Structure 1
Amino acid sequence: MVDKPTGDRPGFTHFGYEQVPVTDKAKRVREVFSSVAAKYDLMNDLMSMGVHRVWKRFAIDLAGVRSGERVLDVAGGTGDLTAAFARAVGASGLAVLSDINAAMLEEGRSRLTDRGIVGNVPAVQANAECLPFADNSFDCITIGFGLRNVTDKDAALRSMLRTLKPGGRLLILEFSKPLHEGFAKLYDQYSFKVLPRLGRFIARDEDSYRYLAESIRMHPDQDTLKSMMELAGFSRVQVYNLTGGVVAVHRGYKL
């Protein structure tokens, strides 16, 4: 396993453990998710042994979305969160599926249609760093397992804050740092040895799943992300650790 790099060079950012020009990262991430889109849900079930559904259910419940609200699911991928929010907001509300990747967005549209969810669920190809929505548009914004792939996370947090209504909430569901050292070592072994092999045999793409493992290690830990949200302007930021800190949900509000 390659050691985690300590920081970015000027004009560069991390793509997993690789240093790439800042202008290239979005393209590289797009290539990864275009490659894995068709097998994304199957791989999620295999990689997490189905536990990702429990993590998502926790985030959905924590969001507390009500009938008539407007919800934006950023980096919504295949639409698991969007589907739940569409049902919660009902015909009088709005749930928007957004993703920067066209292949993932198309997969999400297809899955929503298969679930019989149509009507109040527009799908928008959008970059989290510069969301194409008016100020104060949404009661709730979620981003599930997507923030770690964003080049400028601070810009994305500011963009999501801007598009929230006053009193609205942001929920970030993301891989994080295991709380116990022994468990963290086991998790590293699983991430760097098992996941790429699953990618090779199931998705026929070992490199993309190696990147995904590295991107998890490069993502800010619980306290760092909490501080980033507060610096972006969110208040009452709370952190909920799941599965020993493998995943965390951060929730913050716009004043």
Structure 2
Amino acid sequence: MDENSVSFGYEDVAPDEKTRRVGAVFSSVAKKYDVMNDAMSGGMHRLWKDRFVRRVKPRPGERILDMAGGTGDIAFRLEAAGASVTVSDINQDMLDVGLDRAVARGIDTLVWSRQNAEELSFEDRSFDAYTIAFGIRNVTRIDKALAEAHRVLRHGGRFFCLEFSTTQWPGFKEVYDVYSHKLVPKIGAKIAGDAESYQYLIESIRRFPDMPEFERMIREAGFSQTKVEPIMGGLVAIHSGWKV
């Protein structure tokens, strides 16, 4: 892959093409996104997100940007702790699902904003914390998104990312590879009527940098005191860093 291309699953494509294709994927799966998360993870994604938010330690009144937070799963948890949360996503269909879910829950304190993670419209040092869950691997230029996360955080602000990685558990990795490549697209076809989008989502996990490499990228964006917390041997990982 050269500097003029990025990965879209197992393909290398032009950056604009990836942005377009990823947009189409999430517009297609938006309405069934949370149902599919339950089906694919056996409900474990809820536990991972709970653990993630515990690491963030949201506090009453602090400003948090939840990027790629379309359907509101992380934002609802942050808001429950009293934080002032801005939910941002590049995909309006995902945001619409989140808005509907917020209305159904009687939550009217969230700010919803369509944003490209690589070119945020917020001013410098606008937020106390930046969160992104299962979204960074779909960004076209990850380095630009990390740089923007650093820019919009105040000094002393914290960055948290929950993302799939590569499990190191012996035996489990092989089983998971078979499950994800063979069964997940079939589940996607049955529940969401879209096998191809879920094929891409699995491939995007395989192409995402491993834990040490992604931690290096976070440090290169300017963050200090970086940390990686593997879950299930690294199947999922919580990455964090501070702007100091």
After TM superposition, the score normalised by the length of structure 1 is 0.94
Q: Name 1:106's counterpart in structure 2.
A: 96
Q: Name 1:126's counterpart in structure 2.
A: 115
Q: Name 1:51's counterpart in structure 2.
A: 44
1:147-226 counterparts in 2 under 5 A? 147-226=136-215
TM-superposed deviation, 1:142: 0.3
Q: Which runs of 4+ in 1 moved over 4 A?
A: none
Matched, 1:246 2:235: yes
Amino acid at match of 1:30: G
1:79-98 counterparts in 2 under 5 A? 79-89=72-82, 93-98=83-88
Matched, 1:67 2:57: no
Which digits, 9 at most, give the CA deviation of each residue in 1:90-116, with x for residues without a partner?
xxx520110000100111111111111
Other structure's SS at 2:47 match:
helix
Within the candidate set 127, 141, 165, 1:138 is matched to: 127
Amino acid at match of 1:76: G
Mapped partners of 2:101, 2:208: distance in 1: 28
Q: Name 1:5's counterpart in structure 2.
A: none
Mapped partners of 2:243, 2:5: distance in 1: 31
Decide whether the 8 Å contact of 2:65 with 2:86 is kept in 1. Answer: yes
TM-superposed deviation, 1:203: 0.5
Amino acid at match of 1:116: G
Mapped partners of 2:153, 2:224: distance in 1: 13
Output the aligned Cα RMSD.
0.9
Which digits, 9 at most, give the CA deviation of each residue in 1:45-97, with x for residues without a partner?
000000000000011000011011001100002101101111212xxx52011
Mapped partners of 1:23, 1:65: distance in 2: 35
Q: Name 1:232's counterpart in structure 2.
A: 221
Q: Name 1:78's counterpart in structure 2.
A: 71
Which digits, 9 at most, give the CA deviation of each residue in 1:171-221, with x for residues without a partner?
000001101342211111111001000011110000000000000001111
Greater alpha carbon shift after TM alignment, 44-53 vs 75-84: 75-84
Other structure's SS at 1:96 match:
strand
Other structure's SS at 1:59 match:
helix
Mapped partners of 2:15, 2:162: distance in 1: 24
After TM superposition, the score normalised by the length of structure 2 is 0.98
Mapped partners of 1:181, 1:157: distance in 2: 32
Q: Which runs of 5+ in 2 are unaligned?
A: none
| Count of aligned residue pairs for this structure pair | 244
Greater alpha carbon shift after TM alignment, 39-48 vs 172-181: 172-181
